[in-house]
């Protein structure tokens, strides 16, 4: 009996658990989130619903927004007029299986038959074969990777539990606001008829969505269909980076992750990882900080490291240098108080004397309370400068010319601020206002790891 149980568990791992882990966690073979930029995608599952889908379509029409619907083939058969309306009003219609069953509980043949039936139903209604597919609950079996020859599998980066009624509009809206990131793919549900859902849940989803749309538009977010979003991002990548450069970027990101693992460098905020950090012991000459504190060798400090991958996505997703500067300002403003929060919430950081790092993004830093210092001459300074120039060449779309255009400006500096001044200027409950006066030149998007 034990052998049978082991065999069954091993079979489940191979058939569905490992494949689902591969797409859900590693994102291999699927589209979950685009490159940074203000383009986000609204997607809706489990419909069409005769009560809620028309109301949703009206809301989207009022705001002139386009969305993506992953519909059930069985419901499409019952409500073809809603599928036709989605298509006629410019929305993308994708497939969400014929009925809402997880692929883990179906044979490969059954999954293919469900999809084929659904595709035929939708094609008959709108005259186009859908090629975008979202498996129910984001669960697949190992044979579903064969579907990638015919379909683009789409998952999500934001899910807010809108299929349940508890918490109402407030819960959904707060989660949407808290999780919203550039490039996000948001999944919502315009039907409450699937297993585990509350029938009236779409009422609260629609109420929250109305307010969320207004706020997102006021922040210059653009709502795109999934296919439009993917094409735009691919076009931008091709325009900016050659295959050779994309390979270098890929390898550099892998190196960054290895570095973080080797030196215990952690994200300051798991949801908005603009900064990484680690606690360390300061080794160097005595430094007088702007508030009169002195940083001496042996003091405990927090090293701040820019997330090069996040900076890269900000740069490639920006419409212009000014747009990029605005995004940088917003991101830094959101993150500086989190340094204070980390210090105050971590007992072993009670003896932290200062926060520091080495970077080329230093215009306006002195107005923020940071003391700026040049690197002492020596081997470390030479290596750091070389490192930064290589990084700029790799990450900047026009890195080669950027290095030639103004080489004197590409000087890394040490930035430091005392822990006391950080707590004073950037309390947890208040975002900084000084950064609003600071414009960070787009050409300076390059950073080095702090002193080892």
Are 205 and 326 within one domain?
Answer: no
Are 57 and 103 within one domain?
Answer: yes
Are 255 and 198 within one domain?
Answer: no
Let me know: does 260 contact 310? Beta carbons within 8 Å: no
Strand partners, 352: 300
Are 210 and 251 within one domain?
Answer: no
Under DSSP, is residue 429 helix (H, G, I), strand (E, B) or coil?
A: coil
> What sign for the dihedral angle of Cα 339, 342, 343, 349?
negative
* pLDDT reading at 415 higher than 80: yes
Can you tell me the mean pLDDT for 25-31? 89
pLDDT of residue 405: 57
Domain presence at residue 423: yes
Domain presence at residue 449: no
Let me know: does 154 contact 27? Beta carbons within 8 Å: no
For residue range 276-335, list pLDDT tens digits in order: 999 999 988 888 898 889 999 999 999 988 888 887 777 666 555 555 666 676 777 778
Confidence at 375, pLDDT banded by 50, 70, 90:
confident
Overall pTM surpassing 0.85 (yes/no): no
Domain presence at residue 450: no
Task: Please say which residue of 232, 261, 289 terminates a domain.
Answer: 232
Domain presence at residue 295: yes
**Alpha carbon of residue 442 to chain centroid:** 20
Are 66 and 214 within one domain?
Answer: yes
* pLDDT reading at 244 higher than 90: no
Average pLDDT, the chain: 84
Domain presence at residue 357: yes
> What sign for the dihedral angle of Cα 24, 30, 34, 40?
negative
pLDDT of residue 431: 42
**Considering its fold, how many domains does the chain have in total?**
2
* pLDDT reading at 388 higher than 80: no
Retrieve residue 34's tokens. 């685009």
Are 154 and 261 within one domain?
Answer: no
Let me know: does 404 contact 398? Beta carbons within 8 Å: no
Domain presence at residue 452: no
Are 263 and 139 within one domain?
Answer: no
Q: Single out the residue of 105, 104, 340, 131 nearest to residue 227, CA to CA.
A: 131
Are 265 and 399 within one domain?
Answer: yes
Q: Provide, rounded to the nearest whole percent, the portion of the chain with pLDDT above 90.
A: 52
Let me know: does 67 contact 103? Beta carbons within 8 Å: no
For residue range 194-221, list pLDDT tens digits in order: 988 999 999 999 999 999 999 999 888 9
Domain presence at residue 337: yes
Domain presence at residue 439: yes
Q: Sort 335 into a burial class: Cβ within 10 Å, 0-12 / 13-18 / 19+.
A: buried
Task: Please say which residue of 208, 232, 256 terminates a domain.
Answer: 232
Are 173 and 294 within one domain?
Answer: no
Are 327 and 215 within one domain?
Answer: no
Confidence at 445, pLDDT banded by 50, 70, 90:
very low
Q: Give the residue numbers spanning the domain of 65.
A: 2-232
Under DSSP, is residue 370 helix (H, G, I), strand (E, B) or coil?
A: coil
Q: What span, in angstroms and rounded, lies between the C-alpha atoms of 332 and 325?
A: 10
Under DSSP, is residue 305 helix (H, G, I), strand (E, B) or coil?
A: strand
For residue 66, what is the domain's CATH number? 3.20.20.370
Let me know: does 58 contact 210? Beta carbons within 8 Å: no
Task: Please say which residue of 171, 202, 232 terminates a domain.
Answer: 232
Are 33 and 90 within one domain?
Answer: yes
* pLDDT reading at 128 higher than 90: yes
For residue range 142-161, list pLDDT tens digits in order: 999 999 999 999 999 999 99
pLDDT of residue 407: 56
Q: Single out the residue of 122, 171, 136, 442 nearest to residue 314, CA to CA.
A: 442
Q: Which residue has the higher pLDDT, 335 or 67?
A: 67
Are 209 and 257 within one domain?
Answer: no
Helix H or strand E segment including 339:
helix 321-345
Residues recognised as catalytic: 45, 189
Helix H or strand E segment including 354:
strand 352-359
């Amino acid at each position: 009996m034990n052998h049978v149980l082991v065999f069954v568990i091993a079979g489940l791992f191979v058939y569905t658990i490992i494949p689902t882990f591969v797409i859900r966690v590693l994102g291999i073979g699927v589209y979950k989130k685009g490159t940074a930029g203000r383009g986000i995608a609204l997607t809706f599952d489990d419909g069409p619903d005769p009560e809620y889908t028309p109301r949703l379509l009206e809301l989207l029409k009022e705001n002139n927004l386009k969305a993506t619907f992953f519909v059930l083939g069985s419901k499409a058969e019952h409500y073809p007029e809603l599928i036709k309306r989605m298509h006629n009003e410019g929305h993308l219609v994708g497939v969400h299986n014929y009925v809402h069953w997880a692929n883990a509980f179906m044979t490969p043949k059954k999954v293919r038959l469900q999809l084929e039936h659904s595709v035929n139903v939708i094609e008959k209604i709108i005259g186009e074969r859908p090629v975008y597919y979202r498996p129910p609950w984001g669960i697949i079996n190992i044979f579903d990777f064969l579907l990638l020859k015919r379909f683009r599998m789409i998952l999500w980066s934001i899910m807010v539990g809108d299929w349940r009624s508890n918490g109402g509009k407030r819960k959904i809206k707060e989660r949407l606001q808290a999780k919203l990131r550039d490039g996000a793919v948001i999944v919502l549900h315009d039907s409450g008829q699937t297993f585990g859902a509350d029938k009236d849940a779409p009422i609260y989803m629609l109420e929250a969505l109305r307010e969320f749309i207004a706020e997102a538009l006021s922040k210059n977010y653009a709502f795109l269909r999934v296919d439009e979003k993917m094409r735009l991002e691919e076009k931008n990548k091709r325009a900016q980076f050659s295959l050779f450069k994309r390979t270098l970027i890929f390898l550099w990101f892998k190196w960054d992750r290895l570095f973080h693992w080797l030196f215990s460098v952690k994200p300051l905020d798991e949801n908005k990882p603009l900064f990484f950090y680690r606690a360390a012991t300061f080794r160097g000459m005595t430094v007088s900080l702007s508030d009169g504190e002195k940083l001496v060798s042996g003091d405990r400090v927090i090293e701040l490291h820019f997330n090069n991958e996040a900076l890269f996505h900000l740069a490639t997703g920006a419409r212009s240098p000014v747009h990029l500067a605005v995004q940088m300002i917003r991101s830094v403003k959101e993150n500086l108080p989190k340094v204070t929060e980390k210090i105050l919430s971590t007992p072993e950081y009670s003896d932290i004397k200062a926060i520091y790092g080495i970077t080329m993004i230093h215009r306006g830093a002195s107005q923020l309370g940071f003391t700026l210092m040049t690197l002492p001459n020596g081997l470390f300074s030479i290596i750091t400068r070389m490192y930064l120039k290589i990084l700029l060449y790799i990450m900047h779309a026009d890195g080669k010319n950027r290095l030639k255009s103004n080489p004197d400006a590409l000087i890394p500096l040490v930035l430091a601020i005392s822990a006391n001044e950080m707590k004073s200027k950037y309390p947890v409950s208040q975002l900084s206002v000084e950064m609003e006066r600071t414009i960070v030149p787009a050409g300076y998007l390059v950073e080095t790891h702090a002193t080892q």
